């Protein structure tokens, strides 16, 4: 974190400062900010927050012992370390992050890009970071830091030398993105797609649209909204934002678009057309044609920020995977390919992964889909799992292995289709799935492992990748 005095921090978080005998309100703090005491280090700040299963205040002694010089807490602790007592530690974390970003913007040339969407946020963020790093110092989230804790943690990493800040914004309820937008005030807001991911939390698709629209409603006339022209729900957001619109897509009147797509086992080749009229061929090695849309979104934002076509193309061609456990290509022994895409799953991303599997399978060899639960779909879960099972049949996937009771309807729907005879198997555990794949896989086969994070199949994908490497 940039150096701030204890009194500055206290004012930023609207808290009560409690000094030790050895501290002063003018003392500067410039260490990292942590919510995990195990990551605390000399000079750091520890924010004690209440979690789903524990209370961060219980770990404040550990943070202090590791060198934290300031605790942000919701009640005063009997510890010999400076503390700021606040009403809500998570809100205080956001307020501190907002103050840091505002101070950096006041004296520097910082530009902020925020990304949201039901799918593709992390991939787009990673691609955009790669593009922007070629121009200047860039801060972007580690992993999927995209909620009311993760986004402020990323914001706190900016310095006076930072030129670009990329923020990934997820939401579990209406109002969450709006709150993050108010904290960081993006110069560019990207909306990728509105789908059924987390539909169980939002309640219905209309609520999801409203939540994602929060990305653009509070943008200024001087800001830019980057919108997916191919998704009608996203495209209509142009009517509710005062910002300048830049559209991306493969169809219609997109400002930034792709043409001449040719997908295969090594990625997708396409022609990238920028809003400026420039174009170039891109050999994009991230597996799955659906990731081209993420590339277009990143390219659209990068062009607005002055990144050259050459740097945009170079960044895209240097990227070989979307992220750990996202369409990650493993294996290779006996020409067996394992695609580990089990970090997250929604009906949209599951469909895209199955279509990719069908598209890249080696002629004359089998395609095997190992599928687990799509979580957080609420009352839509049954119908959506049925739909994925039917899609696997219609794509002529050679073998489907469904893992876990929550995903069993995919198996039932495939066998009820009547066009298969033994091509779908059901197992209760990832270990059983591993044994089944190990016994049945043949040279040249392609294996997809896909599920929500909670199903734990990403580790099964790693095991299979190791087995066939």
Q: Which residues are annotated as a binding site?
A: 117-123
Cβ(7)–Cβ(26) below 8 Å: yes
CB 292 within 8 A of CB 268: yes
- Phi, psi (5° rounding) for residue 138? -130, 140
Please list, in sequence order, all residues whose beta carbon lies within 8 angstroms of the beta carbon of residue 244, skipping any fewer than 6 positions away.
Answer: 221, 223, 224, 225
Check the CA dihedral 379-383-386-392 and report its sign.
negative
Closest CA to 175 of 222, 207, 135: 207
To 5 degrees, how large is the angle CA 103–CA 105–CA 109? 145
Residue holding tokens 């799935």? 433
H-state helical runs in 342-420: 347-360, 381-394, 408-417
List the binding residues for ATP.
117-123
Taking the C-alpha atoms of residue 436 and residue 457, their distance in angstroms, rounded to an integer, is 14
DSSP string, 18-33: E--TT--TT-EE-S-E
SS3 of residue 67 by DSSP? coil
Q: Which residues contact 29 (CB under 8 A, 6 or more apart)?
A: 1, 3, 4, 5, 6, 9, 43, 45, 69, 70
Neighbour tally for 208: CB within 10 Å: 22
3-class DSSP assignment, residue 256: strand
Other C-beta atoms lying within 10 Å of the C-beta of residue 461: 27
Tokens for 294? 């993420």
Residue 379's contacts (CB-CB under 8 Å, 6 or more residues apart) are 200
How far apart are the C-alpha atoms of 305 and 459, rounded to whole Å? Answer: 38
Gap between the Cα atoms of 62 and 154, Å rounded: 23
| Closest-CA residue to 357 (of 375, 374, 332, 340) | 340
Angle between helices 457-467 and 430-440 (to 10 degrees): 30
**Contact residues for 248 (Cβ-Cβ < 8 A; gap 6+):** 226, 227, 228, 229, 254, 255, 256, 257, 293, 296, 297, 299, 300
Please give the angle made by the CA atoms of 245, 246 and 252, to the nearest 5 degrees. 110
Question: What letter does residue 362 receive in the DSSP assignment?
Answer: P
């Amino acid at each position: 974190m940039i150096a701030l005095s204890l009194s500055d921090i206290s004012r930023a978080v609207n808290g009560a400062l409690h000094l030790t005998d050895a501290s002063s309100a003018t003392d500067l703090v410039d260490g990292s900010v942590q919510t995990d005491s195990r990551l605390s280090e000399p000079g750091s700040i520890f924010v004690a927050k209440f979690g789903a299963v524990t209370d961060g205040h219980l770990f404040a002694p550990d943070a202090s012992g590791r060198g934290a010089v300031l605790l942000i807490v919701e009640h005063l602790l009997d510890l010999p370390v400076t503390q700021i007592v606040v009403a809500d530690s998570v809100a205080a974390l956001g307020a501190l992050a907002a103050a840091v970003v505002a101070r950096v913007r006041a004296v520097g040339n910082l530009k902020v890009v925020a990304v949201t969407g039901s799918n593709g946020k992390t991939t787009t963020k990673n691609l955009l970071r790669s593009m922007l790093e070629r121009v200047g110092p860039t801060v972007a989230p580690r992993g999927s830091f995209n909620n009311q804790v993760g986004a402020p943690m990323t914001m706190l990493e900016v310095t006076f030398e930072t030129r670009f800040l990329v923020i990934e914004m997820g939401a579990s309820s209406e109002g969450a993105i709006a709150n993050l937008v108010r904290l960081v005030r993006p110069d560019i807001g990207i909306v990728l797609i509105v789908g059924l991911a987390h539909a169980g939390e939002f309640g219905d698709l209309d609520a999801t649209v409203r939540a994602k629209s929060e990305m653009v409603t509070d943008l200024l006339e001087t800001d830019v909204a980057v919108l997916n022209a191919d998704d009608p729900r996203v495209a209509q957001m142009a009517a509710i934002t005062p910002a300048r619109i830049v559209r991306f897509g493969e169809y219609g009147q997109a400002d930034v678009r792709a043409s001449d797509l040719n997908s295969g086992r090594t990625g997708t080749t396409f022609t990238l057309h920028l809003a400026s009229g420039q174009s170039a061929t891109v050999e994009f090695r991230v597996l799955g044609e659906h990731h081209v849309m993420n590339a277009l979104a990143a390219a659209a934002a990068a062009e607005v920020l002055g990144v050259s076509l050459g740097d945009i193309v170079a960044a895209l061609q240097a990227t070989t995977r979307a992220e750990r456990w996202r369409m990650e290509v493993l294996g290779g022994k006996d020409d067996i390919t394992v695609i580990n895409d089990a970090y997250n799953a929604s009906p949209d991303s599951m469909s895209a992964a199955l279509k990719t599997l069908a598209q890249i399978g080696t002629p004359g060899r089998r395609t095997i889909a190992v599928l687990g639960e799509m979580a957080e779909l609420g009352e839509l879960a049954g119908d959506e799992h049925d739909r994925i099972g039917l899609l696997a049949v219609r794509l002529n996937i050679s073998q489907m292995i469904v893992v876990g009771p929550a995903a069993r309807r995919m198996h039932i729907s495939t066998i009820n289709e009547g066009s298969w005879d033994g091509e779908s198997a059901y197992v209760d555990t990832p270990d059983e799935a591993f044994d089944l794949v190990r016994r049945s896989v043949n040279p040249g086969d392609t294996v997809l492992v896909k599920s929500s994070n909670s199903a734990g199949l990403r580790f099964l994908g790693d095991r299979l990748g190791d087995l066939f490497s």
